[in-house]
Amino acid sequence: MAGGGSAIRGSRVGAGPMGEAERGDTAPRQRVVFFCANGHETATVFAVEAAVPEAWDCPRCGLPTSTDVNNPPPPVKIEPYKTHLAYVKERRSETEAAEILEEALEKLRARRARGEVIF
């Protein structure tokens, strides 16, 4: 059974394309091209009176870009995740670490000698 319906489907009162006469003229625009270190080219449109940023993120690889085709910015150096041990090694020398370890082992041996349960 076919449903009855309206001749105008998927629209509402007042819907439809609006011309420039109804919404006004568009702002003057400029096309700016950015380049990344991988050779990707990204064109972006800005309003003429808007300040164009010096850097932009490449949508293809995520590297920073610039408007200079011959001198794109280098990739950002990503520091690897540091473990707790890596931070401790930055603060302590090997001799300090050995002294702290020996002190902790002495305490542990003393507790065992007293018969304490250690988990």
Per the confidence metrics, is the pTM higher than 0.85? no
Taking only the tens place, the pLDDT of each residue in 94-119 is 999 899 999 999 999 998 888 887 76
* pLDDT for 89: 87
> Residue 110 is encoded by which pair of tokens?
């003393």
What is the pLDDT averaged over residues 65-90? 89
Per the listing, tokens 């009855």 go with 4
pLDDT band with cut points at 50, 70 and 90 for residue 88? confident
**Higher local confidence (pLDDT), 49 or 6:** 49
> Residue 4 is encoded by which pair of tokens?
């009855």
What is the pLDDT averaged over residues 45-49? 93
Taking only the tens place, the pLDDT of each residue in 1-46 is 555 555 656 666 666 665 556 667 778 999 999 999 999 999 999 9
Ordered DSSP codes for 2-17: PPP--SS-S--TT-SP
